[in-house]
């Protein structure tokens, strides 16, 4: 019984981590979308710096998305997808590249 509970608990924790990662990557995608919108509206080019304060107005109540697992987001310049400080919390490279640098 105890062993079963431990296994169930481990599975639960794993599922919770996956859910947090999923939510985080979704938030990074939203950030990237907003970044692109901001860049377009302000005639910014790839490589231009983006600050928190530039994007804040696009979010309801000025609240920026954040990582549920406690990671810190780095917005990074236009054309470079934002990232989270938690390992594994990252936008798929391919999606980010095809969206920002059409070939
Ligand atoms: Zn994260």
In the predicted model, residues of the chain with pLDDT beneath 50 are 101-103
Cα 51 to middle of ligand 1, angstroms = 19
Structural domain containing residue 56? 2-100
Report how many domains make up the chain: 1
Q: What angle do CA 60, 56, 20 make, to 5 degrees?
A: 70
Q: pLDDT tens across 21-41, in order?
A: 999 999 999 999 999 999 999
Cα 17 to middle of ligand 1, angstroms = 10
Q: What is the pLDDT of residue 103?
A: 45
pTM: 0.80
Cα 46 to middle of ligand 1, angstroms = 24
């Amino acid at each position: 019984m105890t062993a079963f509970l431990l296994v169930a608990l481990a599975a639960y924790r794993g599922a919770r981590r996956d859910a947090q990662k999923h939510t985080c990557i979704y938030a990074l995608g939203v950030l990237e979308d907003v970044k692109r919108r901001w860049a377009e509206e302000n005639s910014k080019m790839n490589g231009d710096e983006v600050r928190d304060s530039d994007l804040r107005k696009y979010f309801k109540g000025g609240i920026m998305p954040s990582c549920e697992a406690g990671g810190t987001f780095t917005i990074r310049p236009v054309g470079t997808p934002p990232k989270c400080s938690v390992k594994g919390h990252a936008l798929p490279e391919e999606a980010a590249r095809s969206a920002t640098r059409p070939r």
